[in-house]
Amino acid sequence: MELKAKLMSLNKASVTMQELRRLTGLNTDERLFPVVNEAVTSGLLKPFRNVTTNGNRLYPIYEKYHIVREKKDDTALLTAILKLHPLMQRNDYLKNHPTAFQEHQDTLEALSSWLFQNHSNPIAVSRKERSFEIFGAEKVLDDSSFKTLLNNMKINADTLCFYDTPAYCFHDYIPKLSNKMCLLICENKDIWFNLRKMLYEYRRNELWKTSLDGVIYGEGNRICEEGALTEYTRFLGVKNVQYLYWGDIDREGINIAIRLFQNNPDLEIVPFRAAYLQMLKRAKDCHIVFSDDTRERMEDYASFMASFETDEQTILYEKIQQNLHIPQEIISFAVLLDEMR
């Protein structure tokens, strides 16, 4: 029994005489022969054809043996698999891999029950919502091994009618979706909140002759993380979106805009020119402080400046060169009440 356990633990189909010596600890032919002979008699080992022995006439041991493994009776598993919903059997993966079914049997049977109960098209919900509905636990459909199994069975999000929520869920306010939209991204929370209030409470959506369909809080640097806005746009599902970006006039604020452009090359994103010009206009009558940005080197601002006239670029470059800070908050809610239509 000890030798059988050791042989079954080997991840191979054969074993040599030398390996048998190591497994048993029997270093002489005389001691090893009866153990190997018993294994051959019981059907555990089978000598290779055309393989020589050790040359010992009294205790002949072959140089190599097949390890004969017991065939599992999968009848019960196959019977259980045949009871599953037809969608789970369409490519016969489970029939060909009954041990995979055995490993996830309770979960797969729960899925089958759900499929039988939801034969018509259910309402699409999120991955975690569907997981809880089917299995009573919200993270089952996130499990990597179970996801691999479903993929092998050709069961996907469309089959189970769920969607993945985007990793980047920005705070937004969009009163109504349409095929063509202009959405304004704000670097800071106060101006986002004020614009949101103007849209839903005052029903005003035109600011400095620009019609806005919604407003998004960019959360500072978070908006410019690579692909974040692209993923948000995909989830939004709008065919034609133009983004306007509006942030502080300082090195960091403009750097955020530039990174936003660079990390989402397939999207149409430009600075909200009218807003920046209004900030510069109002800054003439205000005490403007220096930025706390200590970097010596200025970035390449060409992609940001391209939206402005030459004289406007000169003024912006001057403010940045001086390392000044003009915050979005210079456009207060009182200003919006006067300017927004």
In the chain, what are the helix, strand and coil shares in percent, each to the nearest 5?
50, 15, 35
Per DSSP, 71 falls in state P
Final residue of a structural domain among 139, 163, 187:
163
Q: Are residues 177 and 143 in the same domain?
A: no
Nearest in space to 28 (alpha carbons), one of 52, 73, 59 = 59
Give 228's strand partners.
Answer: none
Please report the pLDDT score of residue 86 as a whole number. Answer: 94
Please report the pLDDT score of residue 163 as a whole number. Answer: 85
Q: Are residues 185 and 93 in the same domain?
A: no
Q: How many structural domains are present in the chain?
A: 3
Please report the pLDDT score of residue 94 as a whole number. Answer: 94
Please report the pLDDT score of residue 254 as a whole number. Answer: 94
Instruction: Please state, as a whole number, how many other Cβ atoms lie within 10 Å of the Cβ of residue 201.
Output: 8
Q: Are residues 210 and 329 in the same domain?
A: yes
Q: Are residues 330 and 191 in the same domain?
A: yes
Q: Are residues 116 and 79 in the same domain?
A: yes
Nearest in space to 182 (alpha carbons), one of 133, 243, 96 = 243
Q: Are residues 106 and 138 in the same domain?
A: yes
Per DSSP, 109 falls in state H
Q: Where are the alpha helices (DSSP H) in 88-212?
A: 93-96, 98-103, 105-117, 127-135, 144-152, 157-160, 189-200
What is the domain-level CATH number for residue 322? 3.40.1360.10
What average pLDDT is seen over the chain?
A: 91
**Sequence-ordered list of residues with C-beta below 8 angstroms from that of 111, at least 6 positions apart, any chain:** 85, 88, 134, 135, 155
Q: Are residues 134 and 52 in the same domain?
A: no
DSSP 156-175: -HHHHTEEPPPS---EEE-S
Final residue of a structural domain among 40, 67, 94:
67
Please report the pLDDT score of residue 130 as a whole number. Answer: 92
3-state secondary structure (DSSP) of residue 54: coil
In angstroms, the CA 143 to CA 310 distance is: 55
Q: Are residues 147 and 181 in the same domain?
A: no
Task: Please give the residue range of the domain that contains residue 62.
Answer: 2-67
Instruction: Judge whether 65 and 14 are in contact, CB under 8 Å.
Output: yes
Final residue of a structural domain among 30, 50, 67:
67
Which residues, given as ranges, of the chain have pLDDT below 50?
A: none
Please report the pLDDT score of residue 302 as a whole number. Answer: 92
Q: Are residues 144 and 266 in the same domain?
A: no
Q: Are residues 289 and 331 in the same domain?
A: yes
Q: Are residues 221 and 329 in the same domain?
A: yes
Q: Are residues 318 and 184 in the same domain?
A: yes
Please report the pLDDT score of residue 119 as a whole number. Answer: 66
